[in-house]
Amino acid sequence: DVFSQAGQIVGHTWTIFGMTFDMPTAICILLMCGALGKSAQIPLHVWLPDAMEGPTPVSALIHAATMVTAGVFLIARCNPLYELSSFALNVVTFIGAITCIFAATIALVQTDIKRVVAYSTVSQLAYMFIGCGVGAYGAGVFHLFTHAFFKALLFLGCGSIILGMHHEQEVKYMGGLKKYMPITYWTFLLASLSISGVPGFAGFFSKDEILTMAFNSDIALGKFAWFIGTFVAFLTAFYSFRLFFLIFHGEFRGTAEQKAHLKESSPVVTIPLVLLAIGAVCAGWFGIPALLGGHNYWGHFLSPVVGEPELQISTYAESVLLGTSILAGAFGILLAFFMYITKPEIPGKLVEMFPRTYNLLLNKYYIDEIYIGGLVEPTLSFSRKALMKIVDGGIIEGIVNGIPRGIGAFSSKLRGLQDGQISHYLAWMGGSALFLFVWMFTR
């Protein structure tokens, strides 16, 4: 068993290109690089929002419960290795914290309904990275579990809305859908409450455990991760209910044709919404902490594999942390209600006041443009100008065309031997016979 022998690599080093690395740290960092790409963390996050172009049910399954969470699971499952390197744990925590706030701020201004949920996914995955980075692997996997329910519900809810709106995805053309799509409305509300960390819902228990463990952690960036995570809890509640209010409340902003055909989705769509809504509410009950009278069955279940770190803070401090997280989410919901229901003119005024900030967030910090201008286009240009001309046009075409040309030239020379002169044929026959005779008697 690899993990049972992990301690044997402590003290060993790995030298490459003249640089020496601590072996546990090197192994953990390399594993983390794979996890970053798999779970869409900075700087390998750009693929996930673009993947939202696929069918919504596929997004709900792959981007909520399965594929993108594999990176988190990899780190959690390799916890015996990560426990050997505090540096690697700090790197995981730092990337998780930065990605968490990075994706949440982008989600604040997006107008494509699926892109809001996509960047929400990146941000929630970052919460899981924070959990693993501070040594609370069970909490990270717990959030992976609860996230699957409310995020799949949000994606399928988006799919129901897009169907009702005849494939319209811009929230600026929606509004007032509550009376047309009641089942979608209530299930979407439950998912929004869960991701916002409202007490009693699934997202509350898993997210709060991560934040508490971050504050409790001994690693250098634990308190930093707690602060970022708590602030992002406010941002998450705000952008989730911004989306909710823009879709379901206010006046309808679409076309008359869209309004005439608005109706609730068929049972094929709504039944999965109801089932997932049950999970979005109840899935967190497996991990109710002792502070709230629970037994944290989830933590006990995973403790043989990932361990169960002891809380080093008082019950009072834990209560304060819990209250801070709740207040952050509540403030986000109330601010969204104030800005998009009570005073809907405020967002437009803020855009006019801070156009550069708005454009920065709307364009996703221009990361895509940096990658395209700094990596994609130079690589493409080099491939076209150098590789295509030298490798494809020179070497490959030289081989492909040179072989038949060489064979043709050789064949022409051989064909010249058949000139119709009998004396030449007799000379070739005599020479060949003499050669065979000499070879047979001299070997």
The predicted structure's pLDDT at residue 413: 73
CB atoms within 10 A of CB 285: 15
Domain boundaries, the chain: 25-362, 372-442
**Interatomic CA distance for residues 183 and 270, integer angstroms:** 7
Q: Locate tokens 């940096």: which residue?
A: 370
CB atoms within 10 A of CB 235: 20
Residues 6 or more apart whose Cβ sits within 8 Å of residue 265: 160, 163, 164, 181, 183, 184
Query: Torsions phi, psi of 197, nearest 5?
Result: 75, 30
**In this structure, what token pair is assigned to residue 229?**
């995570």
Query: Are the C-beta atoms of residues 337 and 15 closer than 8 Å to each other?
Result: no
Residue 22, strand partner residues: 13
**In this structure, what token pair is assigned to residue 344?**
């809907």
Residues 6 or more apart whose Cβ sits within 8 Å of residue 193: 201
Q: Locate tokens 């909490």: which residue?
A: 139
**Interatomic CA distance for residues 173 and 410, integer angstroms:** 73
Residues 6 or more apart whose Cβ sits within 8 Å of residue 314: none
**Interatomic CA distance for residues 102 and 365, integer angstroms:** 9
Query: Torsions phi, psi of 320, nearest 5?
Result: -65, -45
Alpha helices (H) in 165-266, listed in sequence order: 182-195, 202-216, 222-248, 256-260
The predicted structure's pLDDT at residue 184: 93
Best CA proximity match to 186, nearest among 110, 114, 276: 276
Query: Are the C-beta atoms of residues 332 and 236 closer than 8 Å to each other?
Result: yes
Q: What is the pTM of this model?
A: 0.84
The predicted structure's pLDDT at residue 234: 96
Cα-trace Rg, the chain: 32
CB atoms within 10 A of CB 97: 25
Query: Are the C-beta atoms of residues 243 and 171 closer than 8 Å to each other?
Result: yes
The predicted structure's pLDDT at residue 53: 74
Beta strands in 216-354 (DSSP E): none
**Interatomic CA distance for residues 163 and 264, integer angstroms:** 9
Query: Are the C-beta atoms of residues 191 and 153 closer than 8 Å to each other?
Result: yes
**In this structure, what token pair is assigned to residue 38?**
């798999």
DSSP-based three-state secondary structure for 22: strand
The predicted structure's pLDDT at residue 67: 83
Tens-of-pLDDT digits for all 443 residues of the chain? 677 777 777 777 877 777 787 888 888 999 999 999 999 899 998 988 888 777 888 878 877 777 888 899 999 988 888 988 899 999 999 999 999 999 999 999 999 998 999 999 999 999 999 999 998 898 899 999 999 999 999 999 999 999 888 888 889 898 889 989 999 999 999 999 999 999 989 999 899 989 998 998 888 999 999 999 999 999 999 999 999 999 999 888 888 888 888 888 899 999 999 999 999 999 888 887 777 767 677 777 777 777 666 666 778 888 888 899 999 999 999 999 999 999 999 999 999 999 999 999 999 999 989 999 988 888 888 877 777 777 766 777 778 777 888 887 777 776 666 666 777 778 878 888 888 888 788 76
**In this structure, what token pair is assigned to residue 240?**
């989730």
**Interatomic CA distance for residues 182 and 187, integer angstroms:** 9
Amino acid type, 21 = F
Inter-CA distances, 41 with 313, 353, 404, Å = 30, 31, 51
**Interatomic CA distance for residues 314 and 374, integer angstroms:** 50
Amino acid type, 112 = D
| Angle subtended by helix axes 222-248 and 86-107, to nearest 10 | 20
Residue 14, strand partner residues: 21
